[in-house]
């Protein structure tokens, strides 16, 4: 009796396809929730904690390319756990605050690894992530703008200290959160279909206006730096005179529109008064006795005497103000171990992005935007704490994920060449 060739079994393929679709949609939901952090724990934490656990249970793996990021973040948070042991003789507040703070740090670290892993698993998720980020940013920016001008009763909850903060707890986090989606829209304007330019232009205006009304000097500097860096990198990549002329024309048009809109906004007394105050480089709380800069000096001296740190949130209890400096924050909260690990992680992340910045790949625009915004965050970290900013960890994960994609691409290329 002859053998009968049976067709391959494909029963599970529809189910697997449905699971992958649901998984991708759940990632989009997580990114969307990142724009709404009014209280902690926010829906973002709860949803992403569920998501991370579920994805890894269902088989999401951490490759050799992403494993160093996990190792660095775990070491970083070990430093934070050791720092907790130093709290007993310094902290006067709730002793649960320290462990909770490090628990949040550990969760955010895992979120960066998660974004890296899902990016490496499928680079098409990058477009979904950024499109969803734009949608969340538009909503939270609109809430902040409407609240700032008291356009809707009750929307003043989306402002603080006469500054727009959207669905965030702090204007200084709200403003920087809008920068990456702004760059994504800007990139689309510079290389995309001109027919879609008006819609993207309006969306970019909403985000830029939200950044302006946050009256965060760090956000202003980040937006200006990131915009200039994006144009510079695109000029390096696209060398045709026609493209350079397009960038020049659109950039000049955008600058003129921004100046006109700024002049219109300054006609409102509440805008002009706060703008003139915030435009000063050194505020009253920066200089003077125990001002921001003096606290930095004292904090670094304390950290040299305490290699394990002084404990999470203890600095704020001693000086009534937080560190407002990411490097000092890592020293006081994570000790010398955490400081060295954070520096190593940031340098490695910047190197990965720089090495792959201009390579012609499907994921190159997303890598470029994430790298530029991370570089800007490194700069503003000198005057503000960024260690618990959710979007920063998402950007770090994207850069490492794109780096893993490049390594996979090179391995496949070498394999094809060896097979010839």
| Residue 328 near residue 337, CB atoms below 8 Å | no
Round to whole Å and give the CA distance between 301 and 27: 43
97 found inside a domain: yes
How much is the pLDDT for 30? 94
50 found inside a domain: no
Round to whole Å and give the CA distance between 220 and 222: 5
Instruction: Note whether 160 and 245 are same-domain residues.
Output: yes
Instruction: Note whether 218 and 352 are same-domain residues.
Output: no
Dihedral (CA of 109, 114, 119, 121) sign: positive
Closest by alpha carbon to 230, among 183, 185, 177, 179?
Answer: 183
Would you say residue 237 has pLDDT above 60? yes
Instruction: Note whether 78 and 136 are same-domain residues.
Output: no
304 found inside a domain: no
Q: Kindly tell me the burial class for residue 135, based on how many C-beta atoms sit within 10 Å of its own C-beta (0-12, 13-18, 19 or more).
A: middle
The average confidence (pLDDT) of the chain is: 86
Distances (CA, A) of 255 to 10, 224, 252: 56, 11, 5
- 66-77 residue pLDDT tens: 999 999 999 999
Domain coverage including residue 155: 131-285
| Helix/strand/coil for 419 | helix
Round to whole Å and give the CA distance between 191 and 177: 23
How much is the pLDDT for 293? 73
- 309-351 residue pLDDT tens: 998 988 888 887 888 899 999 999 999 999 999 999 999 999 9
Six token digits for residue 412? 């496949």
Q: What's the domain count of the chain? A: 2
How much is the pLDDT for 402? 97
90 found inside a domain: yes
Task: From 261, 285, 309, give the residue that closes a domain.
Answer: 285
How much is the pLDDT for 8? 47
Six token digits for residue 48? 């992403």
Instruction: Note whether 220 and 169 are same-domain residues.
Output: yes
| Helix/strand/coil for 164 | strand
Instruction: Note whether 178 and 249 are same-domain residues.
Output: yes
Would you say residue 278 has pLDDT above 80? no
CA 399 centroid distance within chain: 11
Residue 242 pLDDT level (bands cut at 50, 70, 90): confident
Round to whole Å and give the CA distance between 34 and 270: 29
Residue 418 pLDDT level (bands cut at 50, 70, 90): confident
Instruction: Note whether 252 and 270 are same-domain residues.
Output: yes
Round to whole Å and give the CA distance between 131 and 364: 16
How much is the pLDDT for 247? 81
Distances (CA, A) of 270 to 160, 172, 213, 261, 263: 14, 19, 11, 15, 13
How much is the pLDDT for 219? 93
Would you say residue 41 has pLDDT above 70? yes
How much is the pLDDT for 95? 67
- 106-163 residue pLDDT tens: 999 999 999 999 999 999 999 999 999 999 999 999 999 999 988 999 999 999 988 9
Task: From 285, 309, 332, give the residue that closes a domain.
Answer: 285
Instruction: Note whether 145 and 237 are same-domain residues.
Output: yes
Instruction: Note whether 332 and 383 are same-domain residues.
Output: yes
Would you say residue 4 has pLDDT above 80? no
246 found inside a domain: yes
- 403-413 residue pLDDT tens: 999 999 999 88
Round to whole Å and give the CA distance between 354 and 348: 10
Question: How many beta carbons lie within 10 A of that of residue 342, not counting itself?
Answer: 23
Round to whole Å and give the CA distance between 99 and 333: 11
Is the bond preceding 41 in cis, omega lying within 30 degrees of 0?
yes
Would you say residue 372 has pLDDT above 80? yes
Q: 239: which residues sit within 8 A by CB, 6+ positions away?
A: none
Round to whole Å and give the CA distance between 64 and 216: 39
| Residue 261 near residue 210, CB atoms below 8 Å | no
Instruction: Note whether 260 and 387 are same-domain residues.
Output: no
- 83-101 residue pLDDT tens: 998 887 555 555 678 888 9
Mean pLDDT of 269-292: 62
Instruction: Note whether 98 and 176 are same-domain residues.
Output: no
215 found inside a domain: yes
295 found inside a domain: no
302 found inside a domain: no
Round to whole Å and give the CA distance between 225 and 172: 16
Instruction: Note whether 205 and 85 are same-domain residues.
Output: no
Mean pLDDT of 258-281: 72
Fill in the DSSP letter of residue 160. E
Instruction: Note whether 257 and 339 are same-domain residues.
Output: no
């Amino acid at each position: 009796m002859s053998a009968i060739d049976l067709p391959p079994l494909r029963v599970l393929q529809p189910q697997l396809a449905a699971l992958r679709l649901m998984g991708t949609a759940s990632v989009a939901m997580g990114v969307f929730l990142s724009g709404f952090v009014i209280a902690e724990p926010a829906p973002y934490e709860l949803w992403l904690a569920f998501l991370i656990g579920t994805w890894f249970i269902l088989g999401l793996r951490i490759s050799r390319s992403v494993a160093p990021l996990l190792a660095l973040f775990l070491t970083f948070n070990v430093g934070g756990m050791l720092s907790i042991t130093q709290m007993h003789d310094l902290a006067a507040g709730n002793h649960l605050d320290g462990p909770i703070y490090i628990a949040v740090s550990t969760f955010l670290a895992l979120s960066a690894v998660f974004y890296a892993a899902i990016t490496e698993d499928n680079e098409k998720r990058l477009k979904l992530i950024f499109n969803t980020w734009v949608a969340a940013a538009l909503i939270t920016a609109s809430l902040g703008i409407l609240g700032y001008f008291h356009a809707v009763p009750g929307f003043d909850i989306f402002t603080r200290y006469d500054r727009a903060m959207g669905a965030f707890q702090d204007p200084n986090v709200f403003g920087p959160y809008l920068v990456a989606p702004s760059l994504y829209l800007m990139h689309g304007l510079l290389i995309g279909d001109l027919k879609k330019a008006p819609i993207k232009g309006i969306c970019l205006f909403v985000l830029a206006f939200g950044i302006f009304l946050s009256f965060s000097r760090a956000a202003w500097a980040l937006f200006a730096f990131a915009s200039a860096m994006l144009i510079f990198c695109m000029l390096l990549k696209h060398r045709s005179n026609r493209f350079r002329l397009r960038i020049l024309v659109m950039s000049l048009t955008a600058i003129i529109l921004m100046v006109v809109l700024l002049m219109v906004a300054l006609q409102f007394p509440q805008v002009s008064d706060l703008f003139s105050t915030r435009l000063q480089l050194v505020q009253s709380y920066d200089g003077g006795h125990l001002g921001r800069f003096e606290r930095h000096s004292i904090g670094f001296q304390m950290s040299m005497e305490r290699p394990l740190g002084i404990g999470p949130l203890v600095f704020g209890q001693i000086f009534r103000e937080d560190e407002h400096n990411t490097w000092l924050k890592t020293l006081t909260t994570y000790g010398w171990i955490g400081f060295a690990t954070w520096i190593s992680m940031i340098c490695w992340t910047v190197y990965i992005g720089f090495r792959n910045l201009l390579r012609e790949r499907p994921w190159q625009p997303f890598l470029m935007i994430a790298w530029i915004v991370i570089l800007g965050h490194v700069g503003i970290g000198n005057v503000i704490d960024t260690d618990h900013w959710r979007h920063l960890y998402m950007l770090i994960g994207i850069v490492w994920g794109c780096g893993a994609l490049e390594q996979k691409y090179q391995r496949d290329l070498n394999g094809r060449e060896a097979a010839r």
